[in-house]
Amino acid sequence: MVSKNSTKLLNISVASFCKSNQLKKAEIAIKDGIQSGVLPDVVTYNTLISPYCRIVGFDAAFSVISRMKNVGIEADRFTYTALMTCANTHCLFETTMKLFDKMVTRNIKPNVWSYNNLIHCYFKSGNPKEAIKVFNDIIDPCPTTFNIMINGLFNSGYPTNAFIFFRNLQCRGFVPQLSTFNILINGLCKSDMLDSATRILSELEESGHKSNEITYTTIMKYCFNSRKYEKGFEIFYEMRDLGYAFDSFGYCTVIGALVKIGRLNEANKYAEEMLRNKVKLDLVCYNTLINLSFKRGKFEEVDKLLKDLEKAGFAPDKYTDATIIDGFLNSGDFDKAKKLLDKGQIGLDFNIVAFNSYLNALAKNGDLNGAMTMAFNSSGFRDSYTFSSLVHHLCKFRRYNKAFMLLQAYVRFGGKILLSAQRAVFNGLRDSGLINEANEVYKIIQSSKSNDMDVYE
């Protein structure tokens, strides 16, 4: 007679193989176990779901349920929850919802991780109100649930609600961990709520938790994006003094900022340090290094980097092409940039990033009419940045009425213009004595800022 301990040992063996991505060996272990009379159980098959999802895909992971049925094993809440996680990973949000519904229909009580997956699914699929309803139904949420809610509210465009939600949790006795603080700081920085982010950083230090690389890099990136360069570099130097190891993201953040303010020698120094330290380069790194080479006028290095990029197994993306086009634009070679743009470096996908870069360069070069013509003749390939750029440049050339009409028309049709561009129009109209028009823009600005949502029912 085979004991339960034998199945337990089989499960440990299968889990070990799955952890090291050796699915074939895991399957052989199950087969050998069956032949020797050691029958797998629900745990055995549940263990297979995540690695099949990660290595093969959702369909392969989902097929585990059929295999369980064939041997008379019923799927449990862990089976469905693992499949929900897999579906979310592959952005199969409708499948996630169907799996949850099927679990409930079969009278399998969801656990907190099932609910976490469903909340994450609703946020990612653009249904934050449904996510909030699910949260209100959970009897015993965990810290991960709170993190998903906070992150989801930020990513859905409700930063104030995310912050209020966090404060309400604290009032109910929630003690945040470092991961929660990092999510808050990241969301607040991205939402331009620096005062709140600073308060949270102080609370982090007072809580006894130690800031990590993610905390510092998040704030550093925000400082650079908001043009607080010296403050950003202070954080960078502090990180180095504290002995934090830099990954590719940290290096690229600093190199990108130095390039933006023209400190190319320093940028090159850190690029060389990154390569010397054998930091694993990703596509973002290559794009950053290509941009730096263009800025330094080292065109031969661009060709080498493109070859290295392909050798590393990466394919140039839209940002690679946009970086190259931007490099030619900055060197004054508009013809070569236009040829590359017209070629469409990424198959049939329209490269809106490169398009906006070219349009912006035209306007900066004084050809505002050419930029306007290009934008309106682009067969619908335009986004909020396209129009924000045009509005900015119209204001720069003191064509405030035209900027106002463009802003008003785009917003009326559901488009979004950057707040900085809206403020430029407002200030220009007000200073020009066009008070009625300025008041209309003020209403648009206030409407853009309003993000009303009830977090609790």
Residue 376 has φ and ψ, to the nearest 5°, of: -85, -10
Rounded Cα gap, residues 102 and 83, in angstroms = 12
Distance set, CA 147 to CA 199, 213, 345, 349 (Å): 18, 19, 39, 35
Topology of domain 383-457 in CATH is 1.25.40
For 376-406, b where at least 16 C-beta lie within 10 A, e where not — what string? eeeeeebeebbbbbbbbbbbeeebbebbbeb
Question: In sequence order, which residues have a C-beta less than 8 Å from that of residue 97 and are 6 or more positions away?
Answer: 118, 121
Top-confidence residue, 355 or 149: 149
Confidence of residue 131 (pLDDT cuts 50, 70, 90): very high
Between CA 157 and CA 167, with CA 162 as vertex, the angle to 5 degrees is: 165
Rounded Cα gap, residues 16 and 241, in angstroms = 40
User: Could you give the angle at which helices 264-276 and 283-295 cross, rounded to 10 degrees?
Assistant: 140
Between CA 63 and CA 70, with CA 64 as vertex, the angle to 5 degrees is: 95
DSSP secondary structure letter of residue 263: -
Tokens of 83: 């499949």
So what's the pLDDT on residue 377?
Answer: 77
Confidence of residue 215 (pLDDT cuts 50, 70, 90): confident
So what's the pLDDT on residue 77?
Answer: 93
Is residue 448 scored above 70 in pLDDT? no
So what's the pLDDT on residue 456?
Answer: 40
Is residue 453 scored above 50 in pLDDT? no
Is residue 373 scored above 70 in pLDDT? yes
Of the candidate ranges 30-34, 234-238, 453-457, the one whose mean pLDDT is the lowest:
453-457
So what's the pLDDT on residue 409?
Answer: 84
Question: In sequence order, which residues have a C-beta less than 8 Å from that of residue 424 and are 6 or more positions away?
Answer: 391, 392, 395, 403
Tokens of 331: 């060197």
Q: What is the mean pLDDT of residues 103-126?
A: 94
Is residue 457 scored above 80 in pLDDT? no
Nearest to 295 by CA among 267, 335, 320, 333: 267
Length of the chain equals: 457
So what's the pLDDT on residue 451?
Answer: 45
Of the candidate ranges 10-24, 154-168, 316-330, 337-351, the one whose mean pLDDT is the lowest:
337-351
Q: What is the mean pLDDT of the chain?
A: 86
Question: Is the pTM of the predicted complex or chain greater than 0.85?
Answer: no
Confidence of residue 123 (pLDDT cuts 50, 70, 90): very high
Question: In sequence order, which residues have a C-beta less than 8 Å from that of residue 130 and are 6 or more positions away?
Answer: 122
Superfamily name and number for 142-238: Tetratricopeptide repeat domain (1.25.40.10)
Tokens of 229: 């360069």
Tokens of 447: 């409407």
Confidence of residue 183 (pLDDT cuts 50, 70, 90): very high
How does pLDDT run across 344-367, given as a tens digit for each residue?
544 445 677 888 888 888 888 888
So what's the pLDDT on residue 379?
Answer: 61
H or E segment to which residue 43 belongs: helix 42-55
User: Could you give the angle at which helices 213-225 and 248-260 cross, rounded to 10 degrees?
Assistant: 20
Q: What is the mean pLDDT of residues 5-12?
A: 86
Q: What is the mean pLDDT of residues 235-259?
A: 87
Domain boundaries in the chain?
142-238, 246-304, 316-377, 383-457
Query: 142-238 and 383-457 share one CATH topology?
Result: yes
So what's the pLDDT on residue 291?
Answer: 92
How does pLDDT run across 265-310, given as a tens digit for each residue?
999 999 999 999 888 888 999 999 999 998 998 888 888 998 998 8
